[in-house]
Amino acid sequence: MRYITAWDRALMILLSLWLVHKELDYTLTDNLFSNRYPMDRDSIGIPLISDVLANIAWLPFYLTIAFLPSARFLRRRLKNPTWWRYPLFAWLGLSYFMAILGAVGFTLKWWKPFHESISLFGFGFLSLLMIFLFVDVRRYFRTRKVRAQLRNISSQQSLSRSLSCPQ
C-alpha cells in the first residue's frame, strides 16, 4: 500500500483551499449581481480578503499537517524515543487543533441563507483535515504496536536462548 507523500498532502490542502476560495468568490459575486447585497459599496471585498488573510495566517499549521507527519527525522525519533519528541507531538497536535478549529469556524461562519455552498466546501476541507488526522493517528499507533511486538519477540528470543544454553 502506497502512502500519501508530504507533497501530495500539501497539494491536496492547497487545492482544496483554492476550491473553497473560488466557491466563495463565485457565490458572493452571484449574490451581488442578484441584488442580495447593496451595490453602492464594496460588500464582497471585505469577506474575500479577510478569509484569504485568515488562511495565510493559518498556513504554518497547514504546512505542519502536510509535512511533519511524514518527515524522516520524525520517524527516526519515533524509533528511538528522546525528550524532544514531546514538543514535536505538541506542535503537531496544536496544528491539527488550530486547523480544524479554523475550518469549523469557516464552515459555521458561512452557514447562512444563500451561502450554503460556501459552507459545504468548507465542510469538505474540514473532512480532508479529519482524514489526515485519522491517517496520522492510525500510523502512529500502528508503529507503536509493531515496535512493541518486535520488542516482545526479541525478549522471547533472548529468554529462549538463555534457557537453552547451559551455564
- Ordered by start, the domain boundaries in the chain are 6-78+90-158
Between 85-109 and 72-79, two packed helices, what is the crossing angle to 10 degrees?
Answer: 130
DSSP label at 5? P
Instruction: Mark out the alpha helices in 41-83 (DSSP H runs).
Output: 45-67, 72-79
CB neighbour list of residue 121: distance below 8 Å, 6 or more residues apart:
19, 20, 23, 24
SS3 state of residue 38: coil
**CB of 102 closer than 8 Å to CB of 54:** yes
Output b/e per residue, 137-151; b: 16+ Cβ within 10 A: eeeeeeeeeeeeeee
Residue 165 has pLDDT above 60, yes or no: no
Residue 80 has pLDDT above 70, yes or no: no
Q: Give residue 86's pLDDT.
A: 77
pLDDT digit string, tens, across residues 111-155? 999 999 999 999 999 999 999 999 888 877 776 666 666 666 666
Residue 156 has pLDDT above 90, yes or no: no
pLDDT digit string, tens, across residues 36-63? 887 766 778 888 889 999 999 999 999 9
DSSP string, 82-116: -TTHHHHHHHHHHHHHHHHHHHHHHHHHT-STT-H
Average pLDDT of the segment spanning 76-94: 74
Q: What confidence category does residue 1 fall into, taking pLDDT thresholds of 50, 70 and 90?
A: very low
**CB of 99 closer than 8 Å to CB of 55:** no
What rounded mean pLDDT belongs to the chain? 82
Q: Can you tell me the distance from the alpha carbon of 40 to that of 26, in angstroms, rounded to the nearest whole number?
A: 19
Q: What confidence category does residue 158 fall into, taking pLDDT thresholds of 50, 70 and 90?
A: low
**CB of 9 closer than 8 Å to CB of 66:** yes
